[in-house]
Amino acid sequence: GFAGFDDHMSKEIAEQPEVAARTIDALAPGVGDGSLWHGLVLPRFERVAVIGCGTSLNAGRVIASAFERLGGVPSTSFIASEAAETVIEPGTLMIALSQSGETADVLRAVDELDLSRSSLVAITNNEHSTLARRADSVLTCQAGPEIGVAATKTFVAQVVTGVATALSALVATGRMTPGEAARQVDDLKRLPDLLAHAIAVSSEALPPVVDSVLDEPGFLFLGRGSGIVFAAEGALKLKELSYRWAEHYPAGELKHGPLALIQEGTPVVVIDSGERRLESNIAEVEARGGRVIRIGGPGSTVPALGQSLTAPFPGAMDRWGPLESVVPLQMLARELAKALGHDVDKPRNLAKSVTVE
Ligand code: M6R
């Protein structure tokens, strides 16, 4: 066994509270005075662009929205395999995310983009990787080795590292006061408890949910605002591990097409990041017989988000997203895959590090 766990993935999910705590402890001292930022090249920037693939791209999207929502910095994200045609404007802080640091699509993008008037920061779990060598500055994640092909704890480490960097950069460039940054860091320090709570709650709540969807061929994942990227991550995990079709949408798009997919029993996972308009989208799904699996919020199936721990949810994380929502999504995908008899550490057709284009 793997230290009492059934598989690497379950161990890596369980490690997330401690990974978050370690990462926050390592970075927090450099946030409030902007010094985390001082080692990085490019003291001034006007905009942020992130690149990555798969789960790393999703982490990048969360980080981009932290720059945008906390500091008003225009931010975009690019799929690495499609980034080469992109025009990178002067004064762009370019952030490349890759757990392995060896993903061919990311390395190719870094080679082909014109980064002469911008600066490249790498966020990676491998400080000796090719990506780390090519970047102007490197932030190493504190996740430790990840064996399961599905990225879990490295997603959490990437998001925390990126958000801490964003806070430090906003202080260093006068966009945020040190006091506000300190408040944000205090909020971030709640994350290990929120993740542990999410693990405990999900272990209780998910088994009957999984039983009820075993025969469903397809899943929809919905969110609004900061919840959208977590819907994307949940759908990616579910496809990768269970081999079932899964789509993610901003919930507002439902009535512009995907609502036609809903029939009796269709599972629809909703990330409730506190957006009021989600209620009418949920009602639309239920009216067609869809089975709503609600992560967080009132009447949730899996009450795993911060607002159910201490109401009302007071923090800043509600601006860049409920990071702890990734836990029930990872566990849903894993438990469904297990129930279907799949190897969750080595899903078919996939490799841990994708070194071909
Ligand atoms: O090593 P990287 O972070 O660059 O890998 C990127 C993707 O291949 C990776 O995140 C993939 O999407 C995961 N298997 C998803 O769980």
pLDDT in tens, 96-106: 999 999 999 99
CA 349-146-321 angle, to 5 degrees, is: 95
pLDDT at 308 over 80: no
Question: Of 136-150, 180-194, 269-283, 293-307, which gets the smallest average pLDDT?
Answer: 293-307
The pLDDT of 276-304, averaged and rounded, is 92
Provide the pLDDT for residue 144. Answer: 94
Distance of CA 53 from the midpoint of ligand 1 (Å)? 6
Q: Taking the C-alpha atoms of 271, 236, 165 and 324 in order, what is their torsion angle to the nearest 10 degrees? A: 40
Regarding the beta carbon of 79 and ligand 1, being less than 6 Å apart is answered no
Provide the pLDDT for residue 303. Answer: 87
Task: Give 315's pLDDT tier (boundaries 50, 70, 90).
Answer: very low
Is the peptide bond between 312 and the residue preceding it cis, with omega within 30 degrees of 0? yes
Regarding the beta carbon of 98 and ligand 1, being less than 6 Å apart is answered yes
pTM: 0.96
Task: Give 310's pLDDT tier (boundaries 50, 70, 90).
Answer: very low
- Which residue, among 236, 209, 207, has the nearest Cα to 221 in the 3D structure? 236
Regarding the beta carbon of 347 and ligand 1, being less than 6 Å apart is answered no
- Rounded-to-integer distance, Cα 62 and Cα 55, Å: 11
pLDDT at 313 over 50: no
Choose the residue to mutate in 99, 241, 355 for probing ligand 1, maximizing ligand atoms within 8 Å of C-beta: 99
Cα torsion angle, 92, 22, 19, 319, sign? negative
- Which residue, among 325, 273, 268, 313, has the nearest Cα to 293 in the 3D structure? 268
Distance of CA 157 from the midpoint of ligand 1 (Å)? 14
What phi and psi values does residue 248 have, to the nearest 5 degrees? -120, 145
Provide the pLDDT for residue 264. Answer: 97
On average, the pLDDT of the chain sits at 92
Provide the pLDDT for residue 1. Answer: 56
Regarding the beta carbon of 57 and ligand 1, being less than 6 Å apart is answered no
The residue length of the chain stands at 357
Q: Is 175 exposed, middle or buried (0-12, 13-18, 19+ CB in 10 A)?
A: middle
